[in-house]
Homo-oligomer: A and B are copies of this chain.
Amino acid sequence: MQYFPNIPKIEYAGKNSRRELAFKHYDPDKVVAGKPMKDHLKFAMSWWHTMTADGTDMFGVGTMDKKFGGVSDMKVSKNRVGAAFEFMEKLGIGYFCFHDKDLAPEGKDLKTFHENLDVITPMVKAEMDRTGIKCLWGTSNVFGNPRYVHGAGTSCDANIFAYAAAQIKKAIDITIEFGGDGYVFWGGREGYETLLNTDMGFEIDNLARLLTLARDYGRAQGFKGCFYIEPKPKEPTKHQYDFDASTVLAFLRKYDLMGDFKLNIEANHATLAQHTFQHELAVARVNDALGSIDANQGDPNLGWDTDQFPTNLYDTTLAMLEVLRMGGFTTGGLNFDAKCRRPSMTHEDMFLAYIAGMDSFAFGLKAADALMKDGRIDKFVSDRYSSYKKGIGKKIVDGKVGLEDLYKYALGLGEYTVGTSGRQEYLEEVLNQVMLESD
């Protein structure tokens, strides 16, 4: 059976095409920067937003059909498997990401949940085998159930820590079963509502304990992929311990986890932390910790996670520039952690939204490649720091001078000041020009 009978296979139609259900920029096999676009971009479908999110928000119930004809919970879950793979095949998406809870109903207890999962996961695996679609990463939803109200790894109740550990074990098992390249931790309740009732130091130690246990288990089971932490500053809790990329780096270093963990950077979470998307990517990259990307966008005037489909071409261009600068993804990819706006309630909107997102990142890839080939920006940056390649600058970098040496040197500089401009406005015009020239 078809779940999207009126939607054709989505094809590349060229940037000026007026066909709505067609790609304008994403041409999967076109070679850009040395390899096919699809290998650069590694698009993934997020099972949760795509297959389960129905437009419910805090002030209103769902507007979209995500039951795909199912009535019982299990039947809905089964139909979603079919719908998901039809959806990915029609869009030519090569990966998916999932929470345990996206795949099967939780039921009343852990045993039931895992029995339900054991029904659904073989169906997913069969579809993977049939289609060649892969798992980018898996994760466990240890935030939605009321039992996680005080946290999972940071819960004040040790039984809940155990419960979370158990869910994570199973989710790692499934990820390995699916041949997933990564496993993500997003700590939706790992934070606090008020410091009045919180022992912050103890909670963070416990969070590290949970991640260490998970890492040890995964490695013992032969998992070769990457563990990721996904930073987010707040929401649902007032403060989340994985606030932003730097905060997570401080945590990973403190608990000696840098060897196994990288970051999964989400655009909208960057916005909520008052950073640009590129900033968070760059922080991760210069610390050798850029693992994977949740591709979406937020609204700079809104203070919650809107998880909109990414259509801002500045953001996609500068994001892909960071990806190219790190030499491309290894285990990671671009997961559309994005949902249709609540008023975009048709199944056609799901496709239109993914097309908009995929085209925007495909454009971003072409533009980033063009920026590197154009070379004006890179050359400007390289020239800008050239004083560190010789003389006193080189000595500083090489650790050959002390503070007193520099003191004597500086005394000799007289009324020295900087005369070179940062040329921000010019560089912004260059960026515009190269973007508009891309393909």
Contact = CB atoms under 8 A, between A and B. Distances in A.
Interface string A365-385: 000000000000100110011
B194 A234 contact: no
A425 B349 contact: yes
25 contacts: A15-B436, A15-B437, A55-B146, A55-B149, A58-B305, A60-B143, A60-B144, A147-B417, A158-B387, A163-B410, A169-B406, A169-B407, A196-B377, A196-B428, A234-B274, A234-B301, A253-B253, A300-B301, A341-B424, A344-B422, A345-B419, A348-B421, A352-B423, A352-B425, A356-B426
Contacts of A143: 59-60
Interface in A236-290: 236, 238-239, 243-244, 246-247, 249-251, 253-254, 272-276, 278-279, 282-283, 285-287
Contacts of A278: 195
Contacts of A311: 425, 428-429, 431-432
Interface in A156-180: 156-163, 165-170, 172
A148 to B, nearest CB: 7
Nearest to A233: B274
A195 B411 CA distance: 32
A144 to B, nearest CB: 4
Given A111-B411, A422-B341, A436-B436, A403 B149 contact: no
B195 A345 contact: no
A324 to B, nearest CB: 14
Given A286-B204, A433-B15, A416 B163 contact: yes
Nearest to A316: B432
Interface stretch (A69-77, A129-137, A206-214): A206-214
A16 interface: yes
Contacts of A253: 250, 253-254
A313 B432 contact: yes
Interface stretch (A79-87, A89-97, A390-398): A390-398
A343 interface: yes
Given A421-B345, A425-B311, A402 B217 contact: yes
Contacts of A353: 425-426
Nearest to A384: B156
Contact of A356 (B250, B418, B425): B425
Given A318-B195, A431-B196, A216 B416 contact: no
Contacts of A118: none
A61 B345 contact: no
Nearest to A406: B165
A29 interface: no
Contacts of A272: 303
A39 interface: no
A381 B147 contact: no
